[in-house]
Amino acid sequence: MPAKTLPVTGDPDADALLASEPLALLIGMLLDQQVPMEWAFKGPWTLRQRLGGSLDAATIAAMDPVELEERFTQKPALHRYPAAMAKRTQALCQFIVDRYGGDAGAVWRGVRTGDELFRRLRELPGYGDEKAKIFMAILAKRFGKKPKGWEQAAAPFSDNTPRSVADIDGPQALQRVREYKQAMKAQGKGKAD
């Protein structure tokens, strides 16, 4: 990925890691549920520190599950549900090892169509339809990875409505996304509406 940033965490180092390490970006998106975006996307940086400065799919996949859970649960916890997210992160890393030889960026590298990218993302453990579409929009909007037909495959997250982390390019955008989500919630709608 290009050396850009995804300014979502409020921590320049954590944001830079998301832009430079595909596995960090995938884990951040995995953690982005039932917690604030900043907390979810800072999780990979914190996990890397707790693992001795390295974030590697093969290492995480091979870890004793109890040891990985301890890394997630130590204070401050990496998520509201740290034990469950430790398991999901390990499953994600194992899938990346098994399917992509441990290279997280291979999930999207060389993909030619939006449908193929959606399929690959949707296969990832912990990634449902919405998470896969948002991640595709992150790749397109923040990192320039735009395979043919990505807009249709990622809809509605491919539009210009500030509805997800894919639309964050600075502090003001973070606030706009938060306001949009609050407005949708007040109307009984989701961010995809």
Question: What was the pLDDT predicted at 185?
Answer: 85
Res 30: pLDDT: 98
Interior/surface letters 143-166, b for 16+ CB within 10 angstroms, e for the rest: bebbbeebbebbeebbeeebbbbb
Residue ranges of the domains in the chain?
12-186
What's the CATH fold of domain 12-186?
Endonuclease III; domain 1 (1.10.340)
Reported pTM: 0.94
pLDDT score at 22: 98
Question: Residue 65: pLDDT above 80?
Answer: yes
pLDDT of amino acid 188? 87
Over range 6-17, report the average pLDDT.
Answer: 93
The pLDDT assigned to 172 comes to: 86
